[in-house]
């Protein structure tokens, strides 16, 4: 793998793009970062996923959260109840990923995302 300023700068730029999506849609950005690290920088799937998790450890959405909170768009109570489950589930998922064939699983997930996205767009604009 070629180390160097160019690669670093490229990763930084791609992450910035993922960040814009993160702030616009209130997500972590990993869902974009993982495939892009793989497609553009030839990370292996497991390595892309592990690296994406590093990027999610510091509060990268903090500035965006402040902007949403200022406008009253945060349900603190629901958030607090969701956090422990997500944390524990993450450990289970990490263990499962060691043993599973990740390709099939990712295809299933891509299918679910596609359906979910189409449904959201449909119910927003055509209902």
Partner 1 sequence: MTIIILLLGLGVGVLVGLLGIGGGVVLVPAMVYLLRMDQHLAQGTSLFILLPPIGLGALREYWRQGQVDLRAGILCALGMLFGAYGGSLVALPIPSRHLQGLFGCFLVLSAVLLWRKAELKSKGRR
End-to-end CA distance of the chain: 49
Quick check: 121 binds partner 1 (CB under 8 A)? Answer: yes
- Least separation in angstroms between CB 93 and partner 1: 2
- Least separation in angstroms between CB 68 and partner 1: 3
d(CA 77, CA 121): 27
Q: What angle do CA 75, 109, 18 make, to 5 degrees?
A: 60
- Residues that contact partner 1, how many (by CB under 8 A): 103
d(CA 113, CA 119): 10
Q: What x/- string results for residues 16 through 45 when contact with partner 1 is judged by CB under 8 A?
A: xxxxxxxxxxxxxxxxxxxxxxxx-x-xxx
- Least separation in angstroms between CB 2 and partner 1: 13
- Least separation in angstroms between CB 37 and partner 1: 7
Quick check: 2 binds partner 1 (CB under 8 A)? Answer: no
Q: What are the structure tokens assigned to 61, written together?
A: 């959405």
Q: Are 22 and 58 within 8 A, CB to CB?
A: no
d(CA 8, CA 97): 27
51-110: contacts with partner 1 (CB under 8 A): 51-65, 67-69, 71, 73-76, 78-79, 81-98, 100, 102-103, 105-107, 109-110
């Amino acid at each position: 793998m070629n180390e160097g300023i160019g690669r670093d700068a490229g990763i930084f730029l791609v992450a910035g793009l993922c960040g814009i999506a993160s702030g616009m849609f209130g997500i972590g950005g990993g869902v974009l970062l993982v495939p892009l690290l793989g497609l553009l920088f030839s990370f292996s799937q497991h390595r892309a996923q592990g690296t994406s998790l590093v990027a999610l450890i510091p509060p990268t959405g903090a500035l965006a959260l402040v902007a949403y909170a200022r406008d009253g768009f945060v349900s603190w109570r629901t958030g607090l109840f969701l956090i422990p489950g997500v944390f524990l589930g993450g450990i289970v998922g990490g263990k499962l990923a060691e043993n599973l064939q990740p390709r099939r699983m990712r295809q299933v997930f891509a299918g679910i995302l596609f359906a979910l996205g189409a449904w959201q767009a449909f119910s927003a604009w055509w209902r």
